[in-house]
Structure 1
Amino acid sequence: MSEAAAVEVENLTKVFRLGVMRSAFVAVRDLSLRVQPGEVYGLIGPNGSGKSTTMKVILGLLEPDQGTSRIFGSSSLRVESRREVGFLPENPYFYKHLTGRETLHFYGRLCGLRGSELREREQEMLALTRLEDAAERRVAGYSKGMLQRLGLAQALIHQPRLVVLDEPTAGVDPEGSRMIRDLILSFKERGLTVLVTSHLLEQMQEVCDRVGIMARGRMVKEGPLEELIAVENQTEMVLENATPELLAEVRVAVARHAGASIVRSGHPRTTLERLFLENTVENTAAASSEPHEE
């Protein structure tokens, strides 16, 4: 029997009723995605594309109007499923009078940890997120980057199998952003599954195995990152020790030039940012002619 997907969303639709007239707003429409165990999956899209709603359904915070959401084979709405998940919201709130260590102690107890096990997890998470030197400082004195790292630590305190990160580098300076990127990569090395949203597409390209692009509540592009950014109708070659004359010749001629070799041959890559803009701008333009949902 094959291993259950870490996250499996099938035909998800979520509708909100707005205003006194209770007009329908379709936030997510017929969306499906799968995140395999051990993957880093990036969910990206412009503001209002339905990312946050999708993540709330996956976390069990919203119930879908249609479709299903499962975590490791069980409904996202089950309490048992949520125990498998660590979550870092975009703007985490911590009690400012607590120290970093006390904050982790608080969240660890909420997750059922006690005694030496809790103390060991606190120390491990402080070391992982490089907050050991600030462990006894009150959270009120933490920088934005330190708060985000503390948020990552609390998300991992109970050893979840799935970590959901909503804009983990929002408002963080470049150095802090790189540190968080490295932490996400370390999660993968530990065998964790990561579902992450971010507007920093260059960084997403560095950490993600698979990507889903949303626009106007729909999944418009989804798949392995390397396949998505491959330009299928072009081929590139990288030559080593090639003369200027050789660069003008066709591939067949390479073998006739001593010292030259084809280092790499394959499809050139676009960037995740360019792929994102092509799909979201195109969908937004096409949708502008659609009738308004009532």
Structure 2
Amino acid sequence: MSAVIEVNDLRKRFRTPLRRNEVEILRGLSFSVEQGEVYGFLGPNGAGKTTTIRILMGLVAASGGSAKLLGEPVPSREARAKLGFLPESPYFYDYLTVAELLDLTGRLFGIEHRARKRRAEALIERVGLTRARKTPLKKYSKGMLQRAGLAQALINDPALVVLDEPTSGLDPVGRKDVRDIILSLREQGKTVFFSSHILADVETVSDRIGIVVGGLMRDTGSVRALCGDALLRTEVVVRVPAALSDADQAALVGDAGSVERRPVLGADGPSEALHELHLSLAPDADVDAFLAHARQHGARVESVSPRRRTLEDLFLHHAGVKAGAGAGPGAGPAGEPVAESQPSDDGTKNTAEDEGKGKDKDKEAEA
């Protein structure tokens, strides 16, 4: 397979009113996306995800490095003709209906009238807006606007679809619809590159993921390869009498690991007779032996839950890294710092990436 997206040593600097020096949002980002795969682009706020997407779309000029879409250097008119894009916060002429929006978008792509109408009708049904097809967009909810935006991103039957937070504002049904559309695009041989903070959606549809922290690629690969099947710990919950003394609890727990004691909650509130012990056993612990030991001390076993590494664990592991050096694809705990938050004029906090948004036009000439 050939790379549909190629990013090499990509850099972006912004100068903001709050800082005298330039802020480097992207610090040498490199990754690739292969033809026909779904690639989930992850990272904490301020990591550089939206900046990367804006550079790929030709909306912002990079300060260094290179990027290609469909084999063409960014920006490219040829690549744009085969590209579908849904930004994080789309804005449409709100006096239009969704049918008129799709007709306008199709005309901009040079699609013939009959083909435009046929595609528009199919897409309106596909994104679940048939009943609202004649309603002006200004009366749409945020979730409905996301559906309309997804439809306009597909009007030109693109080879590459780039989606920035496509499930933002959608209810669970809408999120499932978007996931189904993404999976159907993959079945058609399309390439989908999308960012999202909803890790369950990313894990469900992605062939591979990339985690960006501090403007660098921290990890990339399939979820299974990155998370593995290794056991992290075994979580055990047992019930004991509320009168159990600290000494008896220590004898019950032994060297099992961390333990938290809580009253059992019933319909009438906390129980005065029973408490629960929530224990975390090490990966190499003999769980059967511990359970037998707990029963001998009068405990009743409520649950035993093996805990393996999840995408959330992986994400939090990387997002929590604050300092180090030498980050890159497959990097471990050491790496570049996360973009720090800076106070805004109104006293709230903004990340460096957020500060750079809105300054793009002024900076393109400098880049």
Could you tell which deviates more after superposition, 21-30 or 105-114?
21-30
Structure 1 position 41, deviation (Å):
0.4
Structure 2 letter corresponding to 1:194? V
The TM-score, its normalising length taken from structure 2, stands at: 0.66
Residues 124 and 168 of structure 1: CA distance in aligned 2, closer, same or farther (over 3 Å)? same
Q: Is the 8 A contact 1:29 1:217 kept in 2?
A: yes
Q: Does 1:279 align with 2:318?
A: yes
Partner secondary structure for residue 282 of structure 1: coil
Query: Cα–Cα, structure 1 residues 148 and 284, in superposed 2: closer, same or farther, change >3 Å?
Result: farther
| CA apart distance, 1:248 | 6.5
Q: Deviations over 1:153-191 (max 9, x none)?
A: 100101111111111111222222222222222221222
Deviation, 1:231, is 4.0
The equivalent of 2:138 in structure 1 is 140
Equivalent-residue separation in structure 2 for 1:138 and 1:63 (angstroms): 34
Q: Count the aligned residue pairs.
A: 260
Partners of 1:100 and 1:65 in 2: CA distance: 37
**2:148 aligned to which of 120, 135, 150:** 150
Once the two structures are superposed, the pairs formed by residues 177-196 of structure 1 within 5 Å of their partners are 177-196=175-194
1:91 corresponds to which of 89, 100, 109: 89
Distance 1:124 1:216, change over 3 A: same
Report the 3-state secondary structure (helix = DSSP H, G, I; strand = E; otherwise coil) of the residue aligned with 2:115. helix
Please say which of residues 119-128 and 29-38 is displaced more in the overlay.
119-128
* Residue 117 of structure 1: how far off its partner (Å): 1.2
The answer on 1:71 being equivalent to 2:110 is no
State the SS of the aligned residue for 1:127.
helix
Q: How far apart, in 1, do the equivalents of 2:35 and 2:194 lie?
A: 14
Contact preservation (8 Å) 2:231, 2:309: no
Match runs of 1:1-294 below 5 Å: 3-19=1-17, 22-231=20-229, 270-283=309-322, 287=337
SS at match of 2:30: strand
Q: Which moved more, 1:46-55 or 1:15-24?
A: 15-24
How far, CA to CA, are the matches of 2:179 and 2:164 in structure 1? 13
Q: What root-mean-square deviation, in Å, do the aligned CA atoms of Structure 1 and Structure 2 show?
A: 2.6
d(CA) in 2 for partners of 1:222 and 1:197? Answer: 14
Q: Provide the residue aligned with 1:239 in structure 2.
A: none
> Paired residue for 2:350?
none
Whether the 8 Å contact between 2:209 and 2:221 is mirrored in structure 1 is: yes
**Deviations 1:183-242 (CA, angstroms, capped at 9, x unpaired):** 2222212221111101101111111111110111111111122201214588xxxxxxxx
Shift of 1:81: 1.5
**Between structures 1 and 2, the one with greater strand share:** 2
The offset of 1:148, in angstroms, is 0.9
Paired AA for residue 210 in structure 2 = G
Q: 2:309 is aligned with what amino acid?
A: T
CA distance in structure 1 between the aligned counterparts of 2:108 and 2:121, rounded to whole angstroms? 17
Moved more, 11-20 or 62-71: 11-20
Tell me which amino acid in the other structure corresponds to 1:115: H
Residue 247 of structure 2 corresponds to none
Letter in 1 for 2:315: F
Letter in 2 for 1:160: P
Say if 2:97 and 2:137, in contact at 8 Å, map to a contact too.
yes
* CA distance, structure 1, for counterparts of residue 78 and residue 213 of structure 2: 31
1:114 shift after superposition:
2.5
Q: Rate the CA distance shift 1:210–1:269 in 2: closer, same or farther, 3 A.
A: farther
Report which of the two structures shows the higher radius of gyration computed on alpha carbons.
2
CA distance in 1, matches of 2:52, 2:186: 22
